[in-house]
Structure 1
């Protein structure tokens, strides 16, 4: 399989946006509880997409037929994954979270083999190891002693669960049920809007649980500047990491399959370093281009023999 420029753009944009989400999310989580932040994020997305997405509500018969699938992918991709990631960052370090996230290609291969009958090859396994090596190099900052300081905490288990949730979500996008392939064809805005609506039901319920468990009051920003920063951050994560990234991910998964697409997720720490350089003035180090080379090699190696899946995203 050959990756053309258009497919590469679909697969590179999501990790670029999600890396920005980690930088902005770490700023916002000091003022907004993580599950509530996830709910506010997707509520904004629902409002932005509504003018283009509402037309899918006209076909009530198709909605009823596709209801179980839409409810499932909405709960997984919108309602659960990002909330679990934000929760993980409360007790886990960014190093742990990113290292566990780097195992995504492995979980994609496992879920594909066990749940969807998609065998993986030795070439893909080697590509996954190369990608993980690049991520480990970034997280270790070129020094192995950094990794020796890593300790498992409850947040690590939450990130592991988030990775499994995303793997299942991605395979469901690539292999939709027959109800999604028969009948009316929805455009991307309507399809994503329905995912967001169903995911919001789950996100709002989880926010209620979070509020009942949270002992301290929410520390809302103080002053106009802090409010504008918070609103700007929420708008960014609603547009870039949500609409742009989810659209690109859906097209990329449809083109190359979940397993190959997952390798591109390992570009997140490299893009995070770039975001940190642009926004925080943190200069990239020697290991960043080395890690990028390892990840790019892993992607190229693993994608050479993977067949394109059928399905609608």
Structure 2
């Protein structure tokens, strides 16, 4: 079950990357981040906020943990990704974001001295090779020609924040309902985003009320925020951050599939080879072959 949740999470996040890059010219980054989480909180009002109210004492007892998670996972990570999409390409963003499994392993070691096994290290490397193969379109020269810019630094900082957010889920209070936790970090995250959103408004950058912008916000609020965070949090708490991390490498796989289905792009040999490497790496990282006695 946790592996299915991770697959769905990366599918939803793949759509988020594609939409945020596609709409970067019409939707300001902090406006998208603020309204994404505002709509997510509105959705949570129907089934999550009452859990938070009922468990407010537990939330208060773990307020430091909740504030840190809200600032890392909601304010920092998502806002930086949207800022990055203003000046970088989707290829660069996916390439830099592919460091997440390695960063999660590093964060887990720094915080809890959790180490990857040799088999898990091999799995991360194999799946990373698959990501690079897809991004490079089968040509090493493509990677050598990638130009990194300020947006890529934003993605890297966001990836570091997400790594510490994921590793820190080890401290999740076991008696706090998942919906209460998500509602709490969304509230904290919105408070963190709000002053930066106001600054963006003062600069005259507004979200146009168009069908495309409304659909984008609804998608990222429901799928990339509420559902993806619930699924990711549950999976990481079940199998651990180090095992969950390599599933991030599924994002270029889903991006490729979405491009083939909706943009008419062709599925080529390097796509299939890259997908095979990614799936092989994930299997190496997450599943242990049991030997018969």
TM-score range, shorter chain: over 0.9
TM-score (norm 2): 0.92
**Contact 1:23–1:276 (CA under 8 A) maintained in structure 2:** no
Q: Deviations over 1:202-227 (max 9, x none)?
A: 11122223445x4x644625xxxxx1
Partner of 1:252: 235
Show structure 1 runs of 4+ deviating over 4 A. Answer: none
Alignment of 1:37-48 (within 5 A): 37-48=32-43
What is the CA–CA distance in structure 1 between the aligned matches of 2:200 and 2:133, rounded to whole Å? 35
Q: Deviations over 1:40-89 (max 9, x none)?
A: 10000000111212222244432321211111101111111111111112
Q: Aligned pair 1:7/2:2, yes or no?
A: yes
Partner of 1:240: 223
Q: Deviations over 1:116-155 (max 9, x none)?
A: 1212222222111111101101110112221121122111
Greater shift in the superposed pair: 69-78 or 26-35: 26-35
* Structure 2 unpaired stretches of 5+: none
Alignment of 1:197-276 (within 5 A): 197-212=187-202, 214=203, 217-218=205-206, 220=208, 227-276=210-259
**1:302 pairs with one of 274, 278, 285:** 285
Three-state SS of the structure 2 residue aligned to 1:230 is helix
Q: Deviations over 1:229-273 (max 9, x none)?
A: 221121111111111211111111012111111100000011011
Q: Aligned pair 1:23/2:18, yes or no?
A: yes
TM-score (norm 1): 0.86
What root-mean-square deviation, in Å, do the aligned CA atoms of Structure 1 and Structure 2 show?
A: 1.8
CA, structure 1 residues 159+232, in 2 after alignment: closer, same or farther (shift >3 Å)? same
CA, structure 1 residues 240+192, in 2 after alignment: closer, same or farther (shift >3 Å)? same
* Structure 1 unpaired stretches of 5+: 1-5, 222-226, 307-313
